[in-house]
Amino acid sequence: MTGPKLNEAPVRVSGRRRVRVQEETASFRSRARYIRVSAYKVREVLDLIRGLDAERARETLRLSERDAATVVGKALNSAIANAEHHHEHPVDGDELYVSACYADEGPTLKRWRPRARGRATRIRKRTCHITVIVSRLPEDELRERRTRQPGAGDRRRRIAASRRGARKEAAPTEEIVDHEDVPDAEAAIDGQPAEEAVVDEEAAVEADAAPEPQPEAEADAAPEAAEDKEQDT
């Protein structure tokens, strides 16, 4: 029987270091078995998320360029879902962190590749078993996080309350304006009946549309009139 794995101990990221967590909290795990990826490649991805918050670990896997990040992301989502839907001790996903994660070697598939001079070379197709364990954050850290930044539920309640208040303030101030009474009101202010005001407006429009006399044309016509008069005399 092999000894206990050293990477199963709960670890939390503190600044740039990973620190062992002494307090025992509720933990939930998920396993992905017989994955057609070598354990070496999966361990490179697991080292990126070990000790991180659940949401931050998801973002790290989403931005990772390694193909193994897709399988590890599914295992992490399964572990978070197990914690949120546990029948005895359900835990919110915002309160979880990746306390431990490791990859064990699975059975190796043997294949053969023909080579020169009648020889053959063995091809080893590795498999692995991925285990992701998420745990609830310590109480002191959760208390500090709530004081530093309110939860999503509190934010939703505040937004809903502000929207209800805005609706109540805007509802009684709405008034219906009859646009047909606007010309009469303007004419009454000027002290004229509505019909006379309309006639005056039409006269003003016609006066604006009439062409203005051009002084240059009159100046050109004056010498021609004088020459005609001299010829008549």
* Window from 67-81, 87-101, 183-197 with minimum mean pLDDT: 183-197
Domain edges within the chain: 6-154, 180-210
Phi, psi at residue 36, to the nearest 5°? -80, 55
- Rounded to 5°, the CA angle 127-128-131 comes to 160
**Rounded to the nearest 5°, which phi and psi values hold at 20?**
-70, 135
pTM summary value: 0.58
Distance CA 165, CA 124 (A): 67
- Mind listing the pLDDT tens digit for each residue in 131-161? 999 998 888 888 887 777 655 556 666 777 7
Residue found under tokens 């835990």? 91
- Written as six digits, the tokens of 37 are 């990826």
Fold category of 6-154 in CATH: Ribosomal Protein L22; Chain A (3.90.470)
